[in-house]
Amino acid sequence: MAGGRLPQAAGKGFVFAQDIASLDLWANELTVLSACDTARGDIKIGEGVFGLRRAFAVAGTKTLVMSLWSVPDKVTALLMERFFDNLQSGMSRSEALHSAQNYIRRITVKQLRESALGLEVLKELLAVKELSVNSKIDCQEKDTPLKHPFYWGAWICQGNTDPLVN
């Protein structure tokens, strides 16, 4: 790989930890890997865990937010939306993530029905193709369908946890 650039295959969705490790990310304050299992890697005796987590740290990113297991797409989008809103409000990186996780854990069916992304989350949960504000669903408006840690607990913040500087 020449000049610390990603290989051409990365444009097709393929990138390897060794490619990331060769990048210059020392000026990068925050990297968010909002895909599934991004914090996992292979354990090598005497070396620790190899994977994207280590590669981004070697490349120099100051903070890394990633998932420990496979997470639902729409719930992840909702969590990340809240996470970035929290960062913009001045919260520290770890506090912004923790607050976003609590938001997901406590969000009600009624609140989910109030936004387009929330409706997408409900559709994903119910495994349906269409859902409108007036659709009848088999739960109460005050129910918290995302309270299980499966939906919010996969996310971790590694590295510098201070607020981002504007």
Confidence of residue 48 (pLDDT cuts 50, 70, 90): very low
The confidence score (pLDDT) of residue 129 equals 57
Higher pLDDT, 30 or 16: 30
Percent of the chain predicted with pLDDT > 90:
51
Judge whether residue 107 has pLDDT over 50.
yes
For residues 102 and 86, give the distance between their C-alpha atoms in angstroms, rounded to a whole number. 12
Q: Could you give the C-alpha distances from 116 to 34, 81, 88, 89, 132, in angstroms and in order?
A: 20, 13, 22, 23, 9
The confidence score (pLDDT) of residue 93 equals 96
Judge whether residue 9 has pLDDT over 70.
no
Judge whether residue 37 has pLDDT over 90.
no
Confidence of residue 51 (pLDDT cuts 50, 70, 90): confident
Confidence of residue 137 (pLDDT cuts 50, 70, 90): low
Interval 53-69: pLDDT, tens: 888 989 999 999 988 88
For residues 151 and 146, give the distance between their C-alpha atoms in angstroms, rounded to a whole number. 6
